[in-house]
Chains A and B, each alone.
Chain A
Amino acid sequence: MEKHWKSVISRSVCDYFFEEQKKITSPIDMPPVLATPHHYLITIFRCNMYFVAVCTTEVPPLFVIEFLHRVVDIFEDYFGECSETIIKEHYVIIFELLDEMLDNGFPLATESNILKELIKPPNILRTIANTVTGKSNVSCTLPSGQLSNIPWRRSGVKYANNEAYFDVIEEVDAIIDKSGSTVSAEIQGYVDCCIKLSGMPDLTMTFVNPRILDDVSFHPCVRFKRWESEKVLSFIPPDGNFRLISYHISSQSIVAIPIYLKHFISFREGRLDITVGPKQTMGRQVENVSVEVPMPKAVLNCTLVPSQGKYSYDPVSKVLQWDVGKIDPTKLPNIKGSISLQAGSAPIESNPAVNVNFTINQMAVSGLKVSRLDMYGEKYRPFKGVKYITKAGKFQIRL
Chain B
Amino acid sequence: MSDSKYFVTTKKGEVFELREELNSDKKEKKRDAVKKVIAAMTVGKDVSPLFPHVLNCMQTDNLELKKLVYLYLMNYAKTQPDMAIMAINTFVKDSEDLNPLIRALAIRTMGCIRVDKISEYLCEPLRKCLKDNDPYVKKTAAVCVAKLYDINPELVADQGFLDQLKDLLSDSNQMVVSNAVAALSEINESSPNGIPLVTMDATAINKLLIALNECVEWGQVFILDSLSNYNPQNELEAQSICERIIPRLAHANAAVKLSTVKVLMKYMEIITDQEFLSALTRKLTPPLVTLLSSEPELQYVALRNINLIVQKRPDILNNEIRAFFINYNDPIYIKLEKLEIMIRLASKANISQVLSELREYGREVDVDFVRKAVRAIGRCAIKVEESSDRCVTTLLDLIKTKVNYVVQEAVIVIKDIFRKYPNKYEAIISVLCDNLDTLDEPEARASMIWIIGEYADRIDNAGELLEEFLEGFADDNIQVQLQLLTAIVKLFLKRPIESHDLVQKVLSLATQTDNPDLRDRGFIYWRLLSADPVAAKEVVLGEKPLISGETDLLEPTLLDELICHISSLASVYHKPPRAFIEGASELRKPVATLIPRDVASLEDLEDDSSSDTSQENTGSVVGDLLGVDIDSSAAISPQLIPSSASIEVGIDLLCGGLEEFDVGDADASSSPPRTSYVAPKTLWLPAERSKGLEISGTFIRKDGQIFMEMTVTNCSSEPLSGFAIQFNKNSFGVIPAHPLQLPNVLTLNQSSDVSLLLSSEGPVQKMEPLNNLQVAIKNNIGIFYFACLIPIHVFFTEDGQMDRRLFLSTWKELPPQNEAQYSLENINYDSETIVHKLEQNNIFTISRQEVEGQTVFYQSIKLANKLWILTEVKVLPVERGDCTLSLKSVTVDVASCVYQAYKNILES
| Residue positions of A touching B, CB distance < 8 A | 1-8, 11, 26, 28-33, 35-40, 42-46, 55-63, 65-67, 69, 85, 88-93, 95-96, 99, 103-107, 110-111, 122, 127, 130-131, 134, 136-142, 146-147, 149, 151, 173, 175, 177, 183-184, 186, 188, 214-220, 224-225, 228, 243, 245-246, 248, 250-252, 294, 296-297, 349-351, 353, 355, 393-394, 396, 398
Known A-B contacts: A28-B296, A62-B258. Give 16 more (CB < 8 A). A7-B114, A33-B301, A35-B573, A57-B189, A60-B258, A60-B569, A61-B568, A61-B572, A89-B2, A95-B71, A106-B182, A106-B222, A136-B62, A184-B325, A246-B252, A393-B293
B78 within 8 A of A: yes
The 3 closest A-B CB pairs, nearest first, are A215-B286, A136-B64, A32-B297
Residues of B within 8 A of A28 (CB): 296, 331
Contacts of A122 in B (CB 8 A): 1
* A29 and B332 contacting across the interface, CB-CB below 8 Å: yes
Other-chain contact of A106, B179, B569, B580 (Cβ < 8 Å): B179
Q: How many Å lie between the Cα of A350 and that of B150 in the bound state?
A: 57
B221 on interface, CB distance cutoff 8 Å: yes
B365 part of interface (Cβ distance < 8 Å): yes
CB of B249, distance to nearest CB on chain A (Å): 9
Taking Cβ atoms with an 8 Å cutoff, the residues of B that contact A are: 1-4, 6-7, 27-28, 31, 35, 38-39, 42-44, 62-65, 67-68, 71, 74-75, 78, 99-101, 108, 111-112, 114, 134-136, 140, 143-144, 146-147, 150, 173-175, 179, 182-183, 186, 189-190, 214, 216-218, 221-222, 225, 247, 250-255, 257-259, 286-287, 289-290, 293, 295-298, 300-302, 319-320, 322-323, 325, 327-329, 331-333, 356-357, 360, 363-365, 401, 403, 567-570, 572-573, 577, 580, 582-585, 587-589
Check if A140 sits within 8 Å of B101, measured CB to CB.
Answer: yes
Q: How far is the CB of A385 from chain B (nearest CB, A)?
A: 23
Complex contacts, B259 vs chain A, CB 8 Å: 60
Report which residue of A44, A106, A393 has the largest number of chain B beta carbons within 10 angstroms of its beta carbon. A106
Q: In the bound complex, do residue A219 and residue B319 qualify as a contact, i.e. CB atoms below 8 Å apart? A: no
> A residues within 8 A CB of B287?
215, 217
Q: Are B143 and A104 in contact (CB under 8 A)?
A: yes
Given the known A-B contacts A89-B4, A248-B289, are A32 and B327 also in contact in the complex, defined by CB atoms under 8 Å?
no
Q: Once the chains are docked, how many angstroms separate the CA of A31 from the CA of B304?
A: 12
Q: How far is the CA of A163 from the CA of B44 in the complex (A)?
A: 47
Chain B residues near A353 (CB, 8 Å)?
A: 328
Give the contacting residue for B255; candidates A66, A131, A214; CB below 8 A. A66
Given contacts A31-B333, A63-B221, contact A37 B298 (CB under 8 A): no
* Contact partners of B300 in chain A: CB under 8 A: 31-33
Candidates B214, B325, B332, B582; contact of A57 at CB < 8 Å = B582
Contact residues in A for B327 (Cβ distance below 8 Å): 173, 175, 394, 396
The answer to whether A147 and B135 touch (CB under 8 A), given A62-B567, A248-B289, A349-B363, is: yes
Instruction: List chain A residues, Cβ under 8 A from B174.
Output: 149
Min C-beta distance of B435 to chain A, whole Å: 15
A55-B583 CB under 8 A given contacts A1-B42, A60-B259: yes
Contacts of B297 in A (CB 8 A): 32, 42-45, 65
Q: Which residue of A lies closest to B290 (CB)?
A: A248
Cα A374 to Cα B337 with chains together (Å): 45
Report which of B6, B218, B289, B333 forms a contact with A63, defined as CB distance below 8 A.
B218
B25 to A: closest C-beta gap in Å: 14
* A residues less than 8 Å from B577 (CB atoms): 58
B99 closest partner in A (C-beta): A140
CB pair B38 A92 closer than 8 Å: yes
20 residue pairs of the A-B complex, CB under 8 angstroms, read A35-B589, A38-B584, A44-B297, A57-B584, A58-B189, A62-B254, A63-B255, A66-B255, A88-B7, A91-B42, A92-B39, A92-B68, A95-B71, A130-B1, A141-B99, A147-B173, A151-B216, A217-B252, A350-B365, A394-B329
With A35-B587, A146-B136: A8-B319 Cβ-Cβ less than 8 Å: no
Q: Which residues of the other chain, A, contact B320 by a CB distance below 8 angstroms?
A: 250-252
* In the complex, chain A residues whose CB is within 8 Å of the CB of B357: 183
Q: Which residue of B lies closest to A102 (CB)?
A: B218
The answer for the CA separation of A218 and B253 in the assembled complex, in Å, is 9
> Which interface residue of B65, B68, B569 has the most chain A CB atoms within 10 A?
B569
For the complex, what is the distance from the CA of A63 to the CA of B589, rounded to whole Å? 22
Please report the C-alpha to C-alpha distance between residue A66 and residue B251 in the assembled complex, in whole angstroms.
13
Most central of A32, A99, A130 by chain B CB within 10 Å: A32
Most buried by B among A11, A55, A57, A188: A57
Minimum CB–CB distance from A53 to chain B (whole Å) comes to 11
Q: Is the CB of A103 within 8 A of B584?
A: no
Question: Distance (Å) between the CB of B335 and the closest chain A CB?
Answer: 10
B322→A110 contact, CB < 8 A: no
CA distance A111 to B216 in the complex (A): 10
The interface residues of chain B lying within 8 Å CB-to-CB of A35 are: 573, 580, 587-589
Q: In the complex, what's the smallest C-beta–C-beta distance from B266 to chain A, in angstroms?
A: 14
Asked if A66 contacts B296 (CB within 8 A), the reply is no
The answer to whether A110 and B3 touch (CB under 8 A), given A65-B295, A103-B140, is no
Q: How far is the CA of A28 from the CA of B334 in the complex (A)?
A: 10
For the complex, give the distance between the alpha carbons of A11 and B44 in Å.
Answer: 8
A4 engages B332 (CB within 8 Å): no
Partner of A66, one of B31, B298, B319, B325: B298
B254 and A66: CB pair below 8 A?
A: yes
A214 to B585 Cα, complex, angstroms: 45
Give which listed residue, B3, B293, B570, contacts A90 with CB less than 8 A.
Answer: B3
Q: Do A396 and B328 touch (CB < 8 A)?
A: yes
B67 contacts which chain A residues (CB < 8 A)?
96, 99, 138
What chain B residues lie within 8 Å of A40 (beta carbons)?
Answer: 569, 583, 587
Q: Are A250 and B323 also in contact (CB < 8 A) when A5-B112, A40-B587 are? A: yes
Option from A1, A38, A218, A251 in Cβ contact (under 8 Å) with B250: A218
Minimum CB distance partner of B565 in chain A: A58
CB contact between B286 and one of A26, A45, A218, A250 (< 8 Å): that residue:
A250
